[in-house]
Amino acid sequence: MDSLFTPPPPKPPSHRPNQPPHIPHQQRPPVVVPGTLDFPSQLSPLLQKPSGLGAVGYGNTVEINFCVSCSFKGTAVTMKKMLETAFPGLDVVLANYPPPAPKRLLAKVVPVAQMGVIGMIVAGDRIFPMIGIAHPPAWFNSLRANRFGSMASTWLIGNFLQSYLQSSGAFEVLCNGQLVFSKLKEGRFPGEIELRDLISKTLTKPSIVTGSYRSSIISRKEIST
């Protein structure tokens, strides 16, 4: 009988199935923006240049004189890139090393003689009577017997002689006007590590003076251009 007069128990709070429970709002901490540091707009020249061995390359010049007709340009370009990487700021100049004067003169005579022999083979039967030779010599008759073979041989031999006379076989490396390696003396090419060590020893010498030599290199470039 008592249960009829007792009030029913309270119902639990109802939640919607798709509504998340209420979470109290938490205040975020204030964001602190650090102040920017003021750096000088221009650094000291000593801080701008890299420290170490590469810093000695600034203001110095290395000249690689090589034989262009000997196909040494690939080796010279490889050495140039290696030195510029090892010594930042180093000015590496590539130039042709010409042969001696007598060889240069003979190299100019060879094409003239080459064309003269070919012309003699083609029209020698008319040239000899014009210069007072009634009977051509025996060597002309032997060359005329195989006309095309003789002209081809003359052309190949002439080109070979001209290439030989124009080549010097040189690969000379100078650092600020001082010879550090010579292929003409050593009879071989320098190794990359060997050349880097030679240049490093030359650049670190306290007695080396680069101003006059560098100005002469710049004036030489202006004259060539």
Helix (H, G, I), strand (E, B) or coil at 54: helix
Q: Are the CB atoms for 77 and 94 separated by under 8 Å?
A: yes
Q: Which amino acid is at 49?
A: K
Mean pLDDT of 101-121: 89
Q: Are the CB atoms for 117 and 152 separated by under 8 Å?
A: no
Query: From CA 203, how far away is CA 222, in angstroms rounded?
Result: 25
Task: Inform me whether the pLDDT recorded for 222 exceeds 80.
Answer: no
Task: Inform me whether the pLDDT recorded for 11 exceeds 90.
Answer: no
Phi first, then psi: what are they for 179, rounded to 5°? -70, 125
What sign does the CA torsion over 159, 160, 161, 162 have?
A: positive
Residue 189's closest CA among 57, 62, 70?
70
pLDDT at res. 67:
93
Least confident of 5-14, 42-51, 100-109, 205-214: 42-51
What pTM was computed for the model? Answer: 0.57
Residue 52's closest CA among 92, 87, 89?
87
Task: Inform me whether the pLDDT recorded for 23 exceeds 80.
Answer: no
